[in-house]
Structure 1
Amino acid sequence: MFTTERLILRSYVESDLDDLLRLWEDPLVQPLVTSDSVTLLGPKFKETIRAQIERATFGAIIALKETGEFMGQGAITVLEPKNRDGTFGICLLPKFWSNGYGTEATKFMVDHSFKWFNLNRMSLAVFGNNARAIAVYEKLGFVMEGRKRQAVWMDNRWEDLLTMGILRDEWERRCNERQG
């Protein structure tokens, strides 16, 4: 278990699957985390969630330190260790949006992964309409690397799919600036 100023990041346990299903079924969350149609996912989707958890190099349930309340999840997956490129994803329940929790969790997970998994880069994908997430990633040093225009049909319009990344030397520079 890890803690930040306001958060607990802990390992998944089987009983988290109900909270994770609730998160993934939330009508405000679902369009930001999947390019599939927004729909009720049902109990069978728990197997998909379980498979994602098992694939993650560093996966965490994010909980409020003060109460232990489930807030969401974060994961970093290193698919090709030779290339030392981690893929990051985070998802919080809407009631926790716009309070800096996503920034706090993302910063911790990115820092931890560069320190302990010897990554050279961290990558992510985000939909172009998710301005809140893009602002968090840019604030933490991620750089826009690509834009797949009109990649996803969402809410009766086309949305772009953006790729962002931060390199080890950029991350180290930011750490040195914070310490100096």
Structure 2
Amino acid sequence: MPFQTERLTLRAYNGDADLDNLLRLYDDALVQPSILLAPLKPLSPAYKEKLQKDMDNITFGAVIALTSTGEFIGQSVLNIPEPKNRDASVGICLLPEFWSRGYGTEAMLFTVDHAFRWYGLHRVSLTVWAVNERAVGVYKRLGFVIEGRKREAIWMDTKWVDILSMGVLRSEWAALHWGEQAQSLRPIEHV
């Protein structure tokens, strides 16, 4: 069953066509430096095997498509490595031709809200390169705060770049996005 936002459909991965699209996403010269720590290089078709394994091992993963056309535009992922702590890492990634249209904000809003409502999480975390000012701005507007900075951690395009750790707590998300509903929320005891 796919999920829908105002303009987007977030659906399960569906075979080779999605793996081809994910390879195209990860192999894009504008996308790759912001999601992979390795040096920029062309990815071979064999990289699809790694993508498949990654998709099989995440808590929540979805292809992001335009609802109006079904066109692939990116992916959204949520991983809960230690359920006891109810802390997930989240990430979205879009093809460059879909940047600056609000799709990333819409996908992140859905994914984080879904994480708190359906997985009973206490917090959601992410890492972002400090030079990705557009993404940092989106995360701040959604309620994430900078919790740490790893200085000069990545060599990127002839310079050192900081990695930011950001997070949002369930109570902060509820106050910002759920309004009056937030007042009636009781703590969740189990994941």
CA distance in structure 1 between the partners assigned to 2:178 and 2:135 by the alignment? 24
Amino acid at match of 1:135: G
Identity percentage of aligned residues: 54
In 1, Cα distance between equivalents of 2:142 and 2:53: 28
> Aligned with 1:98: secondary structure?
coil
State the distance in 2 between where 1:179 and 1:102 align. Answer: 25
Q: For structure 1, which runs of at least 5 residues remain unmatched after alignment?
A: none
Paired with 2:80 and 2:181, the residues of 1 have a C-alpha distance of 28
Amino acid at match of 1:117: Y
How far residue 172 of structure 1 moved from its aligned partner, in angstroms, is 1.0
Q: Distance in 1 between matches of 2:180 and 2:47?
A: 41
* Corresponding residue for residue 28 of structure 2: 26
Q: Which of 141, 145, 148 does residue 146 from structure 1 map onto?
A: 148
Alpha-carbon distance between aligned partners in 1 of 2:23 and 2:180, rounded to the nearest angstrom: 37
Kindly provide the amino acid, as one letter, of the partner of residue 43 in structure 2.
L
1:135 and 2:134 are equivalent in the alignment = no
**Which runs of structure 2 are paired with 1:33-72 in the superposition (5 Å)?**
33-72=35-74
Work out the CA distance in 2 between the residues paired with 1:50 and 1:21.
10
4+ aligned runs moved over 3 Å, structure 1: 176-180
Distance apart, 1:169 and its partner CA: 0.7
Name 1:97's counterpart in structure 2: 99
Measured in 2, the distance between the counterparts of 1:97 and 1:12 equals: 22
Whole-Å separation in 2 of the counterparts to 1:83 and 1:139: 25
Q: Which residue pairs with 2:187 in the alignment?
A: none
The aligned counterpart of 1:155 is 157
The answer to whether the Cα contact below 8 Å between 1:35 and 1:154 also exists between their aligned partners in 2 is no
Instruction: Spell out, residue by residue over 1:63-87, the C-alpha distance to the aligned partner (whole angstroms, 9 max, x if none).
Output: 0011000000010000000010010
**Which entry has the higher C-alpha Rg, 1 or 2?**
2
Q: Distance in 1 between matches of 2:171 and 2:12?
A: 29
Q: Provide the C-alpha distance between the structure 1 equivalents of 2:95 and 2:134, rounded to a whole number of angstroms.
A: 14
The residue that corresponds to 1:78 in the other structure is 80
Is this contact kept in 2: 1:144–1:165, CA < 8 A? yes
Q: Distance in 2 between matches of 1:170 and 1:150?
A: 30
- How many residue pairs end up in the alignment? 180
- Counterpart amino acid of 1:68? G
- Distance, in Å, in 2 between the alignment partners of 1:154 and 1:112 is 33
**Hey, what's the Cα distance between the residues in 2 that align with 1:72 and 1:176?**
26
- Asked whether 1:110 is paired with 2:112, we answer yes
Name the TM-score, length of structure 1 as normaliser: 0.97
Q: Give the equivalent residue in structure 2 for 1:7.
A: 8
Query: Displacement, 1:52?
Result: 1.5
* Cα distance in 2 between the residues matched to 1:135 and 1:16: 29
Distance 1:178 1:72, change over 3 A: farther
Give the C-alpha shift of residue 54 in structure 1.
1.1
Distance in 2, matches of 1:60 and 1:100, equals: 18
